[in-house]
């Protein structure tokens, strides 16, 4: 196993005890991450989506890591899933975005809130890679404030018809199914649906390739034009879609935090190698104290964020066992926000410092740390911006009556 990842696995093993099947997931993740390295880098340089990601993950039976074994997944606890994402994060946030959306925002939403029939219909395919999920909450006019979303649905015989636009949707053009959020055309409350992307009226309007990073992850603008959805594809309870959306984001944020740990680990590895081999002023630059300050920053932030992410994961496991317990949910939500907020900022700053340690070559898109610098910026925006995380964390301390975004 990769050295820093092995250290994390050992620590977590001491903490919760890892079984044979759990270790085998992590060994598979280690191999898959190595296999993805070259294609991720090549596609990043070409500024293209990397189709190798689902292919390699499916080959190593990693498309359904947290999906229960009875549905064909590997039944990983949250902390094992976090370690899996930590290792993939070393290859960059492009891979993490694909997995986080497919698993944390998509598959787990169905597993946690779907009917038995929905679980049987979608989860075995998701675990194999035949079903790929996207998550459509953001719209051109609704981002940080999803309650203002404008996609609507009307009742249509035994089902519904959905119309609207979904903007900045990861996996949007490659997904087989979209978890779409919509409000009734003539009423209140948001509802979640599982939309089949091959259905009439669904279209990919634009693949958003003009991003400043994250090229290897597919991001699309989607249009729903009177798309029919069967009644069986309403997810959760009608009118309770926002609660489901936020529960999914709770999963997703832990995943992004874990991915950011991997980014910091790779920055540390790259910086270690570069600064101990590059010689300036007659000695390796790692012997200059100001370079050591950057190394110390990355290492300390990595260690701090590791424990925030693991703590959030442990709380999430507790909450998983009692999904109706609102106090547990609030606690897990707070800790996942803290983990994502700290890890995404630390990953971006670590990548920035790694670029600095690399000097001029760090500023070349060819340098592996420049890739992290460009990619990791998004983690401070998606699945809740820095500011929204700050408001959320503050109100968890001050009380709901102080929620500033109300």
Q: Crossing angle of helices 241-277/289-320, nearest 10°?
A: 150
Binding test (CB under 6 A) with ligand FAD, winner from 1, 31, 55, 381: 381
Enumerate the active-site residues: 383
Partner from ligand FAD, another protein, none binding residue 366, C-beta < 5-8 Å depending on class: another protein
Q: Does 179 bind ligand FAD (CB under 6 A)?
A: no
Binding test (CB under 6 A) with ligand FAD, winner from 109, 263, 285, 388: 388
Contact by Cβ (8 Å): 222, 178: yes
Contact by Cβ (8 Å): 87, 33: yes
Q: Does 242 bind ligand FAD (CB under 6 A)?
A: no
Partner from ligand FAD, another protein, none binding residue 277, C-beta < 5-8 Å depending on class: another protein
Shortest Cβ distance from residue 288 to another protein (Å)? 18
| Pairwise CA distance, residues 31 & 242, whole Å | 37
Nearer to ligand FAD, 299 or 387 (CB): 387
Token pair for residue 286? 């790692």
Judged by CB under 6 A, the chain residues 268 through 327 that form the site for ligand FAD are none
Nearer to another protein, 243 or 269 (CB): 269
The 10 Å CB-count burial string (b at 16+, else e) for 264-285 is bbbbbbbbeebbeeeeeeeeeb
Partner from ligand FAD, another protein, none binding residue 364, C-beta < 5-8 Å depending on class: another protein
Binding test (CB under 6 A) with ligand FAD, winner from 25, 63, 93, 101: 101
Binding test (CB under 6 A) with ligand FAD, winner from 64, 136, 236, 362: 136
CA geometry: angle 396, 397, 403, nearest 5 deg: 55
Considering only 49-57, 296-304, 317-325, 381-389, which stretch makes contact with ligand FAD by CB under 6 A? 381-389
Q: Name the helix (H) or strand (E) containing 225.
A: strand 219-230
Name the residue among 289, 261, 225, 269 with its Cα closest to residue 345.
Answer: 261
Partner from another protein, ligand FAD, none binding residue 9, C-beta < 5-8 Å depending on class: none
Q: Does 170 bind ligand FAD (CB under 6 A)?
A: yes
Q: Name the helix (H) or strand (E) containing 160.
A: strand 159-170
Report the DSSP pairing between strands 234-235 and 279-280.
Answer: unpaired
| Pairwise CA distance, residues 95 & 82, whole Å | 14
Partner from another protein, ligand FAD, none binding residue 387, C-beta < 5-8 Å depending on class: ligand FAD
Binding test (CB under 6 A) with ligand FAD, winner from 307, 361, 402, 405: 405
Nearer to ligand FAD, 197 or 275 (CB): 197
Partner from ligand FAD, another protein, none binding residue 173, C-beta < 5-8 Å depending on class: none
Q: Does 93 bind ligand FAD (CB under 6 A)?
A: no
Q: Does 95 bind ligand FAD (CB under 6 A)?
A: no
Nearer to ligand FAD, 77 or 183 (CB): 183
| Pairwise CA distance, residues 59 & 212, whole Å | 30
Residues forming the site for another protein (CB under 8 A): 34, 37-38, 41-46, 269-270, 273-274, 277, 358, 361, 364, 366-368
Interface with ligand FAD (CB under 6 A), residue total 22
Judged by CB under 6 A, the chain residues 216 through 235 that form the site for ligand FAD are 219
Q: Rounded to whole angstroms, what are the CA distances from 174 to 38, 127, 129?
A: 21, 16, 12
Q: Please enumerate in sequence order all residues whose Cβ is within 8 A of that of 114, keeping only pairs 6 or more positions apart, or say none.
A: 122, 194, 235, 236
Nearer to another protein, 26 or 369 (CB): 369
Shortest Cβ distance from residue 289 to ligand FAD (Å)? 36
> What residue number has its CB nearest to ligand FAD?
143
Residue 117: Cβ within 10 Å count: 9
Considering only 36-44, 197-205, 346-354, 383-391, which stretch makes contact with ligand FAD by CB under 6 A? 383-391
Partner from another protein, ligand FAD, none binding residue 34, C-beta < 5-8 Å depending on class: another protein
Q: Rounded to whole angstroms, what are the CA distances from 249 to 272, 332, 336, 382?
A: 34, 11, 9, 10
Contact by Cβ (8 Å): 253, 224: no
| Pairwise CA distance, residues 300 & 402, whole Å | 32
The whole-angstrom distance between residue 219's C-alpha and the CA centroid of its chain comes to 13
Contact set with ligand FAD (CB under 6 A):
101, 135-138, 143-144, 168-170, 211, 214, 219, 378, 381-383, 385, 387-388, 391, 405
């Amino acid at each position: 196993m990769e050295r820093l990842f092995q250290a994390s696995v050992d620590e977590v093993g001491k903490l919760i005890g890892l079984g044979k099947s759990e270790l085998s997931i992590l060994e598979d993740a280690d191999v898959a991450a190595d296999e993805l390295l070259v294609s991720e880098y090549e596609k990043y340089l070409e500024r293209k989506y990397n189709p190798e990601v689902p292919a390699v993950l499916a080959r190593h039976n990693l498309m359904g890591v947290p999906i229960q074994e009875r549905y064909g997944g590997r039944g990983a606890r949250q902390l094992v899933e976090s370690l899996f994402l930590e290792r993939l994060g070393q290859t960059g946030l492009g891979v993490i975005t694909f997995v986080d959306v497919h698993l944390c925002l998509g598959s787990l939403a169905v597993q946690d809130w779907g009917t038995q029939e929905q679980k049987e219909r979608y989860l075995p395919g998701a675990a194999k890679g035949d079903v790929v999920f996207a998550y459509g909450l953001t719209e051109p006019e609704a981002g940080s404030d999803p309650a203002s979303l404008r996609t609507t649905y009307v009742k249509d015989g035994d089902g519904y018809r959905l119309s609207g636009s979904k903007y900045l949707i990861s996996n949007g053009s490659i997904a087989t199914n979209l978890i779409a959020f919509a409000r009734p055309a003539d009423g209140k409350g948001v509802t979640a649906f599982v939309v089949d992307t091959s259905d009439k009226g669904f279209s990919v309007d634009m693949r958003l390739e003009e991003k400043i990073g994250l090229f290897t992850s597919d991001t699309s603008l989607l249009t729903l034009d009177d798309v029919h959805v069967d009644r069986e594809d309403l997810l959760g309870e009608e009118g309770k879609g926002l609660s489901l959306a936020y529960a999914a984001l709770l999963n997703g944020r832990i995943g992004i935090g874990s991915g950011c740990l991997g980014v910091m680990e790779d920055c540390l590895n790259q910086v270690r190698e570069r600064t101990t081999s590059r010689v300036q002023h007659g000695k390796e630059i790692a012997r200059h104290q100001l370079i050591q300050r950057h190394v110390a920053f990355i290492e300390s932030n990595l260690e701090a964020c590791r424990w925030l992410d693991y703590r959030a994961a442990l709380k999430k496991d507790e909450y998983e066992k009692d999904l109706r317990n609102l106090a547990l949910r609030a606690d897990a939500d707070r800790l996942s926000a803290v983990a994502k907020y700290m890890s995404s900022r630390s990953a971006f700053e670590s990548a920035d410092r790694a670029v600095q340690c690399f000097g001029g070559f760090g500023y070349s898109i060819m340098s592996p740390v420049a890739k992290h610098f460009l990619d990791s910026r998004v983690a401070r925006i998606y699945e809740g911006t820095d500011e929204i995380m700050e408001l959320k964390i503050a109100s968890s301390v001050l009380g709901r009556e102080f929620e500033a975004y109300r």
